[in-house]
A and B are shown apart, each in its own frame.
Chain A
Amino acid sequence: MQLKGSAALVTGASRGLGAALAAELARRGARVVAVAREAGTLEPVVARIREAGFEAHALVADQGDKDAVYPLVGAATALVGPIDLLVLNASTLGPLPLRDLADTECEDFASVLEVNLLGPFRLTKAIVGSMVVRGSGLVVGLSSDAAVNGYPGWGAYGVSKAGLDHLFRTWAAELEGSGVRFLSIDPGEMDTRMHSDAMPEADRSLLADPAQVAARMVRILEAAVPPPSGSRLELPGLESAA
């Protein structure tokens, strides 16, 4: 897609991959709305993008909160116009340290699904009609290795990401031919706070830099021949894709 002049909304933009994607999209000419729960961490990210001469706006919202969805979409659209690119990056691991399913509270499981699966569904639903009517749009979901493999301790998170992948396949099937595309991307292991929360003992030198991952992702979004709608890309296995 053509990023220059496009309107992009990125969730989970206060740190890690989300912050890097917001910056990279803005650098490529998109008008970016950066969304996160905490103003204190989000606003410096947006301030840095603006200082570099690009466009970004900070909106504080919790995507797990149903009542927050329409206010978020309304404010975002007021700031940058109808959304062309929706990046559903925000997600939660649930209570830390990670724990086995047998030790997971039902309420904690539900709140992981609320943030990682229902939040993206609601946000997409509030935006996709405008994309369909305009005949174009791209929705990107951040998936994970845990969506396809059953790793001990990653139950709630893995189920939410497997659900997100399936949600995207279904949206893609339903809206085939509409001009609106859906992509799930597994970015691989990155040196982020989420990673250190999940695996504090990991060797950080083996983890990818989120800024480099964001740059690769954005090259894929801009590719002249885009991946088919509904596909799931594993970034670590795509060394030559971009």
Chain B
Amino acid sequence: MNSLAPAVWPAEDRALARLLVVNPTRGTFRDALVSDLESLLRPHDLLVLNDAATLPGSLVGWSPRGPLEARLAGPPSDEGLWPAVLFGAGSWRERTEDRRPPPRLEIADRIQLEAPGPESGLAAEVVSVSSLSPRLVELRFDREGARLWRALFRVGRPVQYSYLRAPLPLWHVQTAFAGRPLAAEMPSAGRVLRVPLLRALRKKGVAIATVTHAAGLSSTGDPALDAALPLPELSLIPETAVAAVDEAKGRGGRVVAVGTTVVRALEGAFREGRLRPGANRTDLRIGPGFRPRVVAGLLTGLHEPGESHYELLQAFAPRPLLESAIAYARDGGYLGHEFGDSSLILAE
């Protein structure tokens, strides 16, 4: 089957990025630009952003059993243990699924990470190996606090995508409103939302709130592990977001999630009839038949059949409509993947 051409580099002028507007109420779709969100959203609508910044989570190093890459899969536990997925040695040019498997590490193995410059490199110890896959481990680094974060940002780089034309620097994987670095990969739907557009939306009466959702890795190269994705992910739902959702709903506004991570964060924190603030771990899977309780629609990338995100979209629009829309996007030259064009799937 044909698929969307990937965007091979982040575009500079994001307000001019293309936006495919899918209207499940009427069963229609049409072309627009991201800047048209100003007219597509209404006063009292609420846009919810994921403000998690992206971790410099790709770490290259050596273990006693061979060279490897560790990709941090999310933030550390309260005990300071970091979930990580291991890969064999290789280059960012190789697709994740083509990467050599990692050496099989055991508890107490030590990984020495490559560090540019004269400072001593970072090291980590394997604390546990998952029963799901030997590639999924928990690591404890040899330092903490400011020393650890300094070292991580010196040694690590963002998870790379083989279809891009060059390695990604850190600034290309941060949204304009990024806060705490908790995401294993960029919450990419928010990339097109720049400060002037957000301010214009607010001036129009569209409310904006944030949650922090620690998006995990999109792919692990291990079919058994990929089938278990997404692993439980941490969401931080501030009181202000709960109040904004209540306010929007009270005034007849629509809650629009920016990205599938925000859908998971909000729907995952809806318990016993209401959205609950605070820290929440969610392993919620959203697909056809799921009835969203908080979110009316979403701004996201263009997702195709076979992707888990495509399953999620079916909670917001029927499959035949999504199929026609994606076929239209493919023929119309819309770009896919992390840095591609956007779509808005939102009922009236």
Contact = CB atoms under 8 A, between A and B. Distances in A.
Given A82-B180, A130-B179, A134-B210, A74 B145 contact: no
Contact of A57 (B49, B145, B154): B145
Interface stretch (B21-29, B170-178, B219-227): B170-178
Contact of B179 (A59, A69, A77, A128): A77
Interface string B144-176: 011001101110000000000000011100111
Contacts of A59: 146, 149-150
Contacts of B111: none
Nearest to A132: B195
A69 B169 CA distance: 12
B56 interface: yes
Given A59-B150, A128-B195, A130-B51, A78 B181 contact: yes
Contacts of A75: 146, 149-150, 152-153
B171 A133 contact: no
A60 B51 contact: no
B150 A60 contact: yes
Contact of B153 (A71, A132, A133): A71
Contacts of B174: 70, 74, 126
Contacts of A212: none
Given A74-B53, A78-B181, A81-B180, A133 B208 contact: yes
B332 to A, nearest CB: 31
B347 interface: no
B150 A129 contact: no
Given A71-B154, A77-B53, A129 B145 contact: no
A178 interface: yes
Contacts of A148: none
B198 interface: yes
Judged by DSSP, the binding face of B is mixed
Interface residue range, chain B: 20 to 34
Contacts of A134: 210
B180 A133 contact: no
A79 interface: yes
A58 interface: yes
Contact of B199 (A70, A74, A132): A132
Nearest to A70: B170
Contact of B178 (A57, A71, A130): A130
A77 B198 contact: no
Contacts of A33: 146
Given A74-B53, A74-B170, A77-B53, A132 B177 contact: yes
B146 A79 contact: yes
A175 B264 CA distance: 32
9 contacts: A58-B146, A59-B150, A74-B53, A74-B149, A77-B53, A129-B175, A129-B177, A132-B199, A133-B210
Given A57-B145, A58-B146, A134-B210, 19 more contacts: A33-B146, A59-B146, A70-B170, A71-B56, A71-B153, A71-B170, A72-B153, A75-B152, A75-B153, A77-B53, A81-B179, A129-B178, A129-B195, A130-B177, A130-B178, A132-B195, A132-B199, A133-B49, A133-B210
Interface of A: 33, 57-60, 67, 69-72, 74-75, 77-79, 81-82, 126, 128-130, 132-134, 175, 178
